[in-house]
Amino acid sequence: MNFKEKLQFDSEHLWHPYAALKNTPARFLAKTAHGTTIETADGLKLIDAVSSWWCVAHGHNAPEIVQAIQQQSEKMCHVMFGGFTHEPAIELGERLVRFLPQGLNKIFYADSGSIAVECAAKMAVQYQYAKGHPEKCKLVALKGGYHGDTAGAMALSDPDGMHVLFRGIMPHHFFAERPNCRADEPWNDSDFKSMEKMVEEHLGEIAAVICEPVFQGGNGMWLYNAVYLKKLRELCDRCGILLILDEIASGFYRTGPRFAMEHAQILPDILCIGKALTGGSMTMAACVASEEVADTITNSRISAFMHGPTYMANPLACAAGIASLSLFESRDYGASVKRIESRLKQNLLPMKSLENAADVRVLGAIGVLELKAKPSNEDILKVIRETGVWLRPFCNYVYTMPPLITTDAEIDRICEAIRLVGECEPAPIVSGEDDFHE
């Protein structure tokens, strides 16, 4: 097939994320990707301003990760984790225990971030069952949150967000108002009242609270005050319920420190990580529990944790994770993110004056221009082609979460592309036609 025939086949037979099958073809045919750049079959070179959905932290095809995968593929691509273990799984576990905050050291390998969230919820419920509280089988989550697209993860995401269509198949949980106190504003105690009330009213049913710390990603790109997390940790301790932190998007230096929880100097009982874990090279995530959670489950009548993905601890993914963690340990990404944050603020904050701008938010290597109304997909594609910057706006949010190796010059180009999108004419709203939705 030639270039056009390949795109035509794609349009007719391959579904893409959050898109109709037909009439929303892939906009670009990716040919190669190295560093911060994706090259297309028609010769475009695009700076990846969104780290291919926030996972390519070290840049595309980091040589160290590629080499690790190649070397492991010569030994063993996969073996079931039931009844077997293997060196890559053990070494990755050892490295994670050193890399993660002290006390989080019981690791369940998952296929994806959504599955890690599913595991965390199941783990919390099984913990409460082991403590003699089988009635505690619900969770509290935050409005505005996003935790994944599988049924259990959808049920913990914003109840009025992108998954409304599937309410009928989702279990029912409880939702507190999202934190409205911005990350760059002083704390206001009233911001925590909704959570306090929700826990108080349903305490007898609640196993855990789950949230994305400081940064709510796929349902609004919202950055909130870290004091909320301190209050949440205190509330969970006082009420005997677990705290689950979803750091799938915010972990690995994305918000500044190694993990977003460090903004509040707290620890969860269960942590979900993913995306940048393998440097965006292969799908892998992990659900990590404290010793208290793991020991309580292990020493109960039903001691086995009842979950087991086919590709759990896939050796190739583990090898990629080992190489990725080596890069996180050897490079000063803390300094890189400070540099990126400074550059983003310098470029993006003046965009508050744009006629269509509703808000601008920056934290770490995250920059968001929220628009009053989104431009047409055609105008966005025109900006992408003219600037050589790959953006993936969704709803009214034009954002960047670039690879952590992105240079100042590249940040400037990304921000210029965001500005041009912000200056485009708002498009008429057409229901069901937003194939740029996250």
Query: Which residues have a catalytic role annotated?
Result: 18, 146, 246, 275
Rounded to 5 degrees, φ, ψ at 224 are -125, 165
Amino acid code (one letter) for 64: E
The answer to whether 271 and 233 have CB atoms below 8 angstroms apart is no
Q: In which residue are the tokens 């292969």 written?
A: 282
Q: Is the dihedral of CA 63, 67, 73, 74 positive or negative?
A: positive
In angstroms, the CA 432 to CA 304 distance is 44
Q: Measuring CA to CA, how many Å separate 379 from each of 205, 206, 370, 375? A: 49, 46, 17, 6
In angstroms, the CA 426 to CA 148 distance is 29
- Measured N-to-C along each axis, helices 333-348 and 408-423 cross at an angle, to the nearest 10 degrees, of 30
Alpha helices in 1-86 (DSSP H): 3-13, 51-54, 63-73
Rg (CA), the chain: 22
In angstroms, the CA 353 to CA 56 distance is 32
Q: Where are the beta strands (DSSP E) in 85-197?
A: 104-110, 138-142, 174-176
Alpha helices in 184-332 (DSSP H): 193-202, 227-239, 291-298, 315-330
Give, for 342, the enclosing helix (H) or strand (E): helix 333-348
In angstroms, the CA 369 to CA 400 distance is 9
Length of the chain: 438
- Helix, strand, coil tally for the chain in percent (to 5): 40, 20, 40
DSSP 220: T
* Distance in Å from the first CA to the final CA of the chain: 30
